[in-house]
């Protein structure tokens, strides 16, 4: 998966590791980087041999400082792909799991990319914020909606209305960070989480993710429970649904096919 200028995409078995690669500007994202990331995640979504993705930033200072304001201020034409900032923030139909490995600053759109992932693993020097109001903007790439759905509303509003910076440890206490580790252990921790997911049936994982997120759109618990989600139906029809109980009965590791 070579040929990208502003990001890197590396296969590790059924895991895809995506790195935002603009360390000279704290991995801030401009339209060309947005376009490359959108292509990377389009390909990830379509590839049956890739089951989980991790996204991180190059270097040891920043996951992503968000939108490249200097590029914007210089007159650069601004655009965001249909799939959203970083190719992720408007990607509502991706049933494969995503892990953000936040290796430093995650500000504005960078934090919004992380919030668009299913899990956030952070280095102990990570900093999160939605500082857009301080520069006359707003966190309109999903931050204003995902953060209050991830942590208590008063805590979310405390971040949103002040733009204040939150460290990794506080992020874990608030509930939007799953684990905090020393920076040198970050990718190992992200891969450990990915490995735990990869032990499960990918059909079950996709059914579970889709049911959770689409269930939020239902007006009641009963409606969420009774709705038939496409990935759940795919699980019912899959070979994995037969393989799992069979492997359990035969006391052996299952051989998932993802179909």
Residue 148, domain member (yes or no): yes
For 12, the token pair is: 């590790």
DSSP 230-257: HHHHHHHTSSHHHHHHHHHHTTS-----
For 183, phi and psi rounded to 5 degrees?
Answer: -55, -40
For 253, the token pair is: 């590791």
Same-domain pairing of 213 and 174: no
Nearest in space to 57 (alpha carbons), one of 8, 14, 15, 129:
8
Question: Which pLDDT value is given to residue 135?
Answer: 87
Question: Which pLDDT value is given to residue 199?
Answer: 97
pLDDT profile of the chain (259 residues), mean per 10: 89 98 97 96 97 97 93 77 97 97 98 98 98 93 97 98 98 98 98 98 97 96 96 96 95 94
Residues 6+ positions from 141 with CB-CB distance below 8 Å: 80, 84, 85, 89, 90, 109, 112
Question: Which pLDDT value is given to residue 35?
Answer: 96
Residue 97, domain member (yes or no): yes
Same-domain pairing of 19 and 109: yes
Residue 1, domain member (yes or no): no
Question: Which pLDDT value is given to residue 252?
Answer: 96
Same-domain pairing of 45 and 162: yes
CB atoms < 10 A from the CB of 76, how many?
13
CA dist., res. 38 & res. 86, Å (int): 7
Same-domain pairing of 139 and 226: no
Residue with tokens 């618990």: 221
- Give the full edge-to-edge strand order of the sheet including 166-167: 62-64, 105-107, 127-129, 166-167
Nearest in space to 132 (alpha carbons), one of 181, 170, 74, 85:
85
Question: Which pLDDT value is given to residue 77?
Answer: 74
Same-domain pairing of 118 and 213: no
**Continuous H helices in the chain:** 31-46, 69-73, 109-115, 143-150, 153-160, 168-174, 186-198, 202-215, 221-226, 230-236, 240-249
Same-domain pairing of 185 and 95: yes
Question: Which pLDDT value is given to residue 1?
Answer: 64
Question: Which pLDDT value is given to residue 72?
Answer: 75
Same-domain pairing of 164 and 235: no
- Domain extent at residue 233: 202-249
The DSSP secondary-structure symbol of 77 reads P
Same-domain pairing of 232 and 170: no
> What CATH number corresponds to the domain at position 193?
3.90.226.10
Residue with tokens 């971040």: 159
Same-domain pairing of 140 and 214: no
Q: Is the dihedral of CA 170, 176, 180, 183 positive or negative?
A: negative
Residues 6+ positions from 206 with CB-CB distance below 8 Å: 95, 96, 231, 234, 235
Cα-to-chain-centroid distance, residue 87: 10
- Specify the 3-state DSSP secondary structure of 17: strand
Residue with tokens 């990915």: 194
Residue 63, domain member (yes or no): yes
Same-domain pairing of 92 and 163: yes
Residue 40, domain member (yes or no): yes
CA dist., res. 43 & res. 46, Å (int): 5
Residue with tokens 């939605």: 130
List the catalytic residue out of 10, 112, 170, 210: 112
Count the domains in the chain: 2
Residue with tokens 């509502």: 92
Residue 257, domain member (yes or no): no
Question: Which pLDDT value is given to residue 69?
Answer: 82
List the catalytic residue out of 5, 132, 222, 239: 132
Same-domain pairing of 116 and 160: yes
Whether 112 sits among the annotated catalytic residues: the reply is yes
Residues β-bridged to residue 167 = 127
């Amino acid at each position: 998966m070579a040929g990208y200028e502003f990001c890197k995409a590396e296969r590790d078995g059924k895991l895809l590791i995506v790195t935002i690669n603009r360390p000279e500007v704290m991995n801030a994202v401009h339209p060309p980087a947005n376009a490359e990331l959108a292509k990377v995640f389009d390909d990830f979504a379509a590839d049956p041999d890739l089951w989980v993705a991790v996204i991180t930033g190059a270097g040891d200072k920043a996951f992503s400082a968000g939108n490249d304001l200097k590029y914007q201020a210089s007159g650069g034409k601004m655009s965001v792909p249909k799939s959203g900032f970083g190719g992720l923030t408007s990607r509502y139909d991706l049933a494969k799991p995503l892990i953000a490995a936040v290796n430093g600053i995650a500000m504005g759109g960078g934090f919004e990319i992380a919030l668009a992932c299913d899990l956030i693993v952070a280095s102990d020097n990570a900093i999160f914020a939605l500082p857009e109001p301080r520069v006359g903007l707003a966190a309109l790439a999903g931050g204003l909606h995902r953060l209050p759905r991830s942590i208590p509303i008063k805590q979310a509003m405390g971040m949103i209305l002040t733009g204040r910076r939150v460290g990794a440890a506080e992020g874990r206490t608030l509930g939007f960070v799953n684990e905090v580790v020393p920076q040198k252990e970050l990718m190992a921790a992200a891969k450990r989480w990915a490995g735990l997911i990869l032990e499960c049936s990918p059909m079950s994982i996709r059914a579970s993710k889709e049911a959770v997120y689409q269930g939020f759109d239902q007006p009641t618990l009963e409606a969420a429970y009774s709705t038939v989600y496409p990935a759940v139906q795919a699980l019912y029809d899959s070979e994995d649904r037969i393989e799992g109980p069979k492997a359990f009965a035969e006391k052996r590791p299952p051989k998932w096919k993802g179909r």
